């Protein structure tokens, strides 16, 4: 399910509208994932506080969205564009790739709550495809 030119245009158009709120989106999506899918907390046992609004969650949400921004910029070649991030996740973080889908879903829910008019079904399908391809690129170096 690779990205068509139409998909890429839709993702870039949506990103233009939401990128100013990226930090808030990232923080909410991460906090939400930790609550809705508690098994994901296992990756953050080193954090003193996992609650929404806490310092570690806010800071990390920002980091995640910087990664998403990198992916939007490299949308024409996600596998090479995200190679450094893939190596990080594969060799150091060793996050089970199934969780990429989980976080992707949470990101979309947050975007729906914050930008209901912009997150039309057409924008939804393009973003869902993009996040799936992003996840695949992140998994590139795992084995």
Partner 1 sequence: MVKWTDFERATIQDIFSKIDYGVIGPAALSRCLIVYPWTQRYFGGFGNLYNAAAITSNPKVAAHGKVVIAGLEKAVKNMDDIKTIYKDLSVLHSEKLQVDPDNFNLLADCLTIVVAGQMGAAFTPEVHAAFQKFLAVVVASLRKQYY
Binding footprint of partner 1 on the chain (CB under 8 A): 28, 31-32, 34-36, 52, 105, 108-110, 112-114, 116, 119-122, 124-125, 128
Nearer to partner 1, 32 or 89 (CB): 32
Here the tokens at position 112 are 């729906």
Min dist CB 47 to partner 1, Å, is 16
Min dist CB 88 to partner 1, Å, is 26
DSSP state of 46: T
Q: Which of 106, 105, 98 is nearest to 43 (CA)?
A: 98
Nearer to partner 1, 3 or 34 (CB): 34
H helices of the chain, in order, are 5-18, 22-36, 55-73, 78-81, 83-87, 98-114, 121-139
Here the tokens at position 91 are 């060799």
Nearer to partner 1, 14 or 82 (CB): 14
Min dist CB 122 to partner 1, Å, is 5
Q: How far is CA 37 from the centre of its chain?
A: 15
Min dist CB 35 to partner 1, Å, is 4
């Amino acid at each position: 399910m690779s990205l068509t030119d139409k998909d890429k245009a839709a993702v870039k158009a949506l990103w233009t509208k939401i990128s100013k709120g990226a930090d808030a989106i990232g923080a909410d999506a991460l906090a939400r994932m930790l609550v809705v899918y508690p098994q994901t907390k296992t990756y953050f046992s080193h954090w003193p506080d996992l609650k929404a609004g806490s310092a570690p969650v806010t800071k990390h949400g920002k980091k995640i969205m910087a990664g998403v921004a990198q992916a939007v910029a490299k949308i024409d070649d996600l596998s090479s564009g995200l190679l450094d991030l893939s190596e990080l996740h594969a060799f150091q973080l060793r996050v089970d790739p199934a969780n990429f889908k989980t976080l992707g879903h949470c990101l979309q829910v947050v975007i729906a709550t914050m930008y209901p008019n912009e997150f039309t079904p057409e924008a939804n399908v393009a973003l869902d495809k993009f996040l799936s391809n992003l996840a695949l690129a992140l998994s590139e170096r795992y084995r």
